[in-house]
A = this chain, B = another copy of it.
Amino acid sequence: MVRALFFDVFGTVVDWRNGVAREARRILEPLGVAIDWTAFADAWRDRYQPTMQKVRSGQMPYANLDVLHRENLEQIKGTFGLDRLDDATLAALNLAWHRLDAWDDAKRAFPRLHKRFLMAPVSNGNIAIMVDIARHNGIVWDAILGAEIARDFKPKPRVYLSAAEALALRPEECMMVAAHSSDLAAARKNGLKTAFVARPNEGPGKESEPAEAFDVVARSFDELAQKLGA
């Protein structure tokens, strides 16, 4: 009996690629910058997994995603001719990740799912990013769980298990919802139920089909709600 739904956020709930591209353009175009905005978003996101891996492996202590995003921005800025940007502009740019738009079906299906289930993001993003994204999109969560609570990053077991523990639930009472098979495979290994929701428009990282047979497979949050009887 599933009592809580845990959501991956970047890619699954929000469109990081078009959001980061849009915010970068909004901030940088008035400064005379003309670059491929989508390529910039992709390059920034490319640094995401390798940087988190340093924390997962114990090579560096936990730092939240706002900090890692900023480090990654410093690493890629030269490639895009952005070396002269001042600190305030880089800080504003880093907040692009706080202003991402949710896919349309999230706004539509979440109120319906929320009537039946506890709902929390279990993301590698920190609490401040999750709070701002929720406000930006009118999403209501019961709690913000995930990396900042666990002080480690998915797919490390602690992230999934600490989320279940925070709600005083057993892992099998929680269902991880994600567009990424690797996230779901790790959740399943730790005893959680799993739901794959396809995001064919995510861009890099997108999966049209799940790599394993998860408990639920859906094309949208509407279909997820229907399959879960919500």
Residues of A within 8 A of B (CB): 66, 118, 126-128, 130-131, 134-135, 140-145, 148-149, 166-168
Tallying the copies of this chain within the complex gives 2
24 contacts between A and B (CB under 8 A): A66-B168, A118-B131, A118-B135, A126-B166, A126-B168, A127-B143, A127-B145, A127-B166, A127-B167, A128-B166, A128-B167, A128-B168, A131-B142, A131-B143, A131-B167, A134-B142, A135-B142, A140-B140, A141-B143, A142-B144, A143-B143, A143-B144, A144-B144, A149-B149
Q: How far is the CA of A75 from the CA of B44 in the complex (A)?
A: 55
Q: How far is the CA of A166 from the CA of B146 in the complex (A)?
A: 13
Contacts of A149 in B (CB 8 A): 149
A95 to chain B, nearest CB (A): 9
Contacts of A128 in B (CB 8 A): 166-168
A87 to chain B, nearest CB (A): 16
Contacts of A167 in B (CB 8 A): 127-128, 131
Closest to A131 in B: B142
Q: How far is the CA of A130 from the CA of B141 in the complex (A)?
A: 13
Closest to A144 in B: B143
A210 to chain B, nearest CB (A): 29
Contacts of A168 in B (CB 8 A): 66, 126, 128
A147 to chain B, nearest CB (A): 12
Contacts of A145 in B (CB 8 A): 127
